[in-house]
Amino acid sequence: MGPAERYPTDRGHRARNRPPCPADLACGDRPAHRHSPRRNRELTVCGIAGLLRPPRPTPAGDPDRVLVTAMAAAMVHRGPHDQGIWQDGPLTLGHRRLAICDLSPGGHQPMTYRHLTITYNGELYNQAALRARLSPTVPLTSCDTQVVLAAWLQWGPAALEQMEGMFAFALWDVHQQRLTLARDRLGHKPLYLYSPAGGGIAFASEVDALLTLPDLPRRPHLPALHAQLLASPALAADPQATAVEAVTALPPGSLLSIGPDGRPARRTYWRPPTPHSGHDTGSGAGPPSTRRGRAAGGLGSHVIRATTAMLMGDVPAGVLLSGGLDSSVLTVIAARRASPAAPLHTFTLAYPGDAARPGSDLAHARAVAEQLAPRVALHQVPRTDTLALDDIDAVLDPAVLPDDPRHPAILATYQAAAGHGLRIVLNGQGTDELMSGYLTRPWFRHLLHPDAFAGLPASRQARALTPDVLADRGGVHARLLQLYQSMPATPLERAQHLLTATQIPHILRFEDRLAMRAGIEARFPYLDDRLVGWCLRHPQSIHIAGHSAPGGAQGKALLRRAFSPLLPAPVITRPKQVLPHPAARPLQQSLAALARDHHRDLAADPLIGHLFTLPNPSELDRLPASTLFQILGTWRWHLHLTRPPAPPRPRPLPGQAIN
């Protein structure tokens, strides 16, 4: 290993002008190893579904089992390796399983222990610590799901406050006849709900699964659609609203409990902490440079711990490498587990001309991969600058209107990872929201000046909206302003907390959706529970540096300081970049051509007529690509919603054959 590839030693990080570094970085020239020592650990990445009915005589033909089986089949891409259906009285649970480790019978779900049964999607990153605290009389295998059951048996709902990870689950207590639905703190894993007219509740990891229920009204939720178009889906004031009228989302950090009386009771078990919550910010005593160095060391420790935890398993993990600071840090940490014989696979989008453009993502990703070679293999994911209807259809999500023409490219990166045999991919999302990474973006300035807040949703408003939609603009802005004003007092902390409450759940929703369409589990080290808590408890000002520099202030200063010895200088000094868009002109031309070809269908769609002012075919070239994508995407979304679901195609499980 050359000097540029070596993790710094303690002595190197105590040198003048170098920040104190976490002990995890002082690993010297340890032999590379491919997999975690947690062998045969059963991870439970999957799709879950279920149906709870009011007490009634059991009808002939077991229709609830049929319904839940169809719900699970609609999520076969989330779990192609195993399936399970379980019933007890009024409850039917379903499960689809994606095998991240070995496919052993011990991990089959739904899973029962004593009087508790669970269908569970996710992973606990502190499962070893929980095991140590659980009663020694509880027999546990290597399965995370058993840890959740044992923790619930010992602590009840208070177990949620002890769990660190990404998860959504449904747990049935047969003694209490009580169903509990829960999601992780930030919303890594989705959970959608539908209340049938006759009572009870249906739930699933995807809205598509709920749409298989024959009695679910397939109507768009117009207030939610108006809000999405007037402020973008990334600024949703209501975390429960979806684009389907009858479907709601269980908010992150909350649980819903339904007992024998059939009345649902929801409560929030986690709220983002603030620097004023009485927690030590960790800055300690000493001059500012010493305090910042100490803070950089603390942040670096959390990043290394979180990344290492998310690499553990019996299958290799890859990284989405954009050449920016965030993904490059993940790559340099993950590369320590690789070897020339089994390199870390990284994936970078490449649009036409990127290879010859010095400042492109591809150029910076190559610099990182070359520094870490031969332990890192860089794979280009080629993309054209045009889109077809199939590209739009592939990224549709019934929970939200399509609004970003980059989503087909994101899906392509996950598909490329799956094509290389990966099932886990690390993703660098989250630092911009938590570490003032958007400080230089024009829209972020609206968050720093309360009197100018209305400019933020206005900057994200879609074009070509009808008067019916625009009439709701004042109400949508007022609800967002009310949410913003409820955040911590300083402008920077308000901005951070607003983005944590709105943009991060939105990012996690579409990344989970796109990754699972490719059979990939996306993991987000920067959105690790303890790392998020550390960032929220520290004042945002510690992440900002360069007030007097020619380029002005810049966020993510601590992250740069902690990892600058490990990365190429151009990556460290590179300004904040967004995920590249396709080239504007070819993208606009391709979308305008699609809109002209299908103008009759667009004009006949009542939802398009309600939401958008559709130009004549000859005037479509005047609309920007983003608006054309929204119009075409809304049309395809509405078709997807209103068409009866096709019968699920049987897909063989391992060892099965379909005749």
Give catalytic residues, as residue numbers. 46
DSSP type of residue 8: P
Give the Cβ contact number of residue 361 at 10 Å: 22
**CA–CA distances in Å: residue 196 to residues 55, 190, 246, 350:** 14, 20, 9, 46
Q: What is the per-residue DSSP string for 54-98?
A: -S-PPPTT-HHHHHHHHHHHTTGGG-BSEEEEEEETTEEEEEEEE
Quick check: 381 and 416 in contact, CB under 8 A? yes
Query: Has 144 been labeled as part of a binding site?
Result: yes
Q: What is the dihedral of CA 105, 152, 516, 414, to 10 degrees?
A: -100
CA 368 distance to own-chain centroid: 25
Q: What is the dihedral of CA 510, 74, 316, 413, to 10 degrees?
A: -40
| C-alpha span between 501 and 484 (Å, rounded) | 10
Give the chain's end-to-end CA distance (angstroms, integer).
54
Quick check: 532 and 525 in contact, CB under 8 A? no
Query: Has 320 been labeled as part of a binding site?
Result: yes
Contacts of 443 by beta carbon, 8 Å cutoff, 6+ apart? 455, 456, 459, 460
CA 33 distance to own-chain centroid: 28
Q: What beta strand segments (E) does 222-357 contain?
A: 247-249, 254-258, 264-268, 317-320, 344-350
**CA–CA distances in Å: residue 152 to residues 108, 375, 485:** 19, 42, 36
Instruction: Give the residues across from 465 on adjacent strands.
Output: 612
| C-alpha span between 399 and 640 (Å, rounded) | 12
**Angle at Cα 330 formed by Cα 188 and Cα 301, nearest 5°?**
90
**CA–CA distances in Å: residue 596 to residues 267, 371, 602, 606, 631:** 49, 48, 9, 18, 12
Contacts of 512 by beta carbon, 8 Å cutoff, 6+ apart? 188, 189, 190, 522
Binding site residues, as ranges?
Answer: 144, 320
Name the binding residues for L-glutamine: 144
Q: Would you list which residues are annotated within the binding site for ATP?
A: 320
